[in-house]
Amino acid sequence: MKLTRREFTALTSGGLAGLALPRFGFAAATDGTAGADLTTLTLAEASAKIRSGAVTSLQLTEACLARLAIYDPKLDAFITVLKEQALAQARSLDAELKAGKWRGRLHGIPIALKDNIDTAGTRTTAGSAVFEDRVPAEDAPVVARLKAAGAVIVGKTNLQEFAMGAGETSYFGPARNPWSLAHNTGGSSSGSGAAIAAELCYGALGTDTAGSVRIPASFCGIVGLKPTYGLVPIRGIVPLTLSLDHCGPMTRTVADTAIMLNVMTGYDKLDITSVEHPKEDYSATLDQLVAGFRLGVPAYFYDHLDAEVGRSVQEALSVLFKLTKSTKDVVLPAFTNVGNVGGAGETFAYHEEYFKRAAQRYMLPERRRLEAASKSTITAAEYVRAKWGLELLRRTVDDAFTDVDVVVVPTERILPPLLSDMIKAAREGTGEVTTDIIANTQPFNVYGIPAVTVPCGFSKSGLPMGLTFAGPHFSEGKILALARAFEQTTEWHKRRPALSPTMPVPSVLGPA
């Protein structure tokens, strides 16, 4: 059952005012005291314990690798595990700390990278046989920044082939959702979402062209941020559609996301998408008061909601009404006329030579897509006009925030689909499910404005749901502050999937 916007509005106006803040009977995550599993710590908690000497980076890394060895065969979250390299990094960083050198809050923290992000000397496959043996010569700038900040890279995570979908198609097999192994993780940053939810690492990087950070974050019950376009450099990342591509952090809490974002931002003159912006301390901005925030509710994003999603969003709004100053309906600009810049031209521009040489090495859905792109009839003039339209939209979208500070929307209109259904749709070339999945995420890629998703509920069957906060360009501090206030008022982020070493792995359809 899906709710129309009118039905949702009626439900909201009739029932929100008297709702008490929701309380949930979930067991709290442990605080990492003696005997507790170190992998249950948040990134911030793990960092504090390293800084105090209560634990070492080596202990955290060994704990993550041990858990990964047990659960990754069931989840397929990783394509490459960097065991020896990670242990060596951890030992080196422990020695540095012992000598009095502390690099910051990522010092010694095990982190994973989506496998379309270049790593020097380590293969970067983009989930494809085309790049099965590709080994970059240097790190992507965002990886170099994480390493310089002391992050320990434990591995490269699974993804939809070349990030071209919602996580159902990978040369290495699709990642599984830790909350239900039969369900889709969302994508294309599927492995990063699964790895964080399953506590295989403390943070991960994803990329986002139509929602590929926020979709798996929502489906896996974690936090995912798509920053302002150009704020985080994407040079050294295999592109999907350069005009819409972003790179963002995925973690278990908003505070953890802020810690990662602090070291990821910064201008890169060799990246044609990069923009200059004064450095900010996003961890510090979390403490700003949100009681004066004006909240916007854009109607478009509330139509055709799954009934369970609608109820969870209703409860979330009741919480936010109490936290903020005011709420009003707003209208964000139309985006569909520029939402697919240049058709598939930008995607094919990167793949043209690979496709000419090795078309049969692509998985069937991506092969079909690139074959169609190779025959695109879009003219150069049409492409240029689309680019002009995108630029104008991005220059004017902030006008929609004149009377509000932040907008709030359901991250997903639907619950995580069955993985077999997604594979079947990909095999048959139908895109209805994917269209539903990106309906509420893609607009923010077009606008180029920041958006963060946080857990806001679970279905009766135990599947996660997410709530998105978005704001004008470079409002990361503001949206993260409100997301954290919501997170601290509720308890959804404390819930963890019930994994066990003996849990069966349901079969799904073979690869498309």
Classify the phi-psi angles of 149: left when phi > 0, otherwise alpha if psi is within -120 to 50, otherwise beta. alpha
State the distance between the two ends of the chain, measured CA to CA, in whole angstroms: 29
Helix, coil or strand: residue 396:
helix
Q: What is the DSSP letter of 209?
A: S
Cβ atoms of residues 46 and 55 within 8 Å: yes
Which of these is catalytic: 212, 218, 283, 312? 212
Beta-bridge mates of residue 453: 224, 468
Tell me how far CA of residue 330 lies from CA of 294, 469, 485, in angstroms.
11, 14, 22
Alpha carbon distance 202, 181 (integer Å): 21
- Annotated catalytic, 322? no
Note if 189 is an active site residue.
Answer: no
Which token pair is 504?
């069966």
Q: Tokens 């939810």 label which residue?
A: 197
Closest CA relative to residue 208, chosen from 448, 396, 413 = 448
Q: Are 163 and 212 in contact (CB under 8 A)?
A: yes
Q: Identify the active-site residue in 47, 57, 128, 188.
A: 188
CB 156 within 8 A of CB 192: no
- CB atoms under 10 Å from CB of 133, counted, come to 8
Q: Which of 114, 147, 156, 226 is catalytic?
A: 114
Q: Which of 282, 236, 273 is nearest to 120 (CA)?
A: 236
For the record, the structure tokens of 285 come out as 């901005």
Neighbouring residues of 229: CB distance < 8 A, sequence distance ≥ 6: 244, 246, 273, 275, 394, 445, 448, 449
Catalytic: 212? yes
Residues marked active site are found at 114, 188, 212
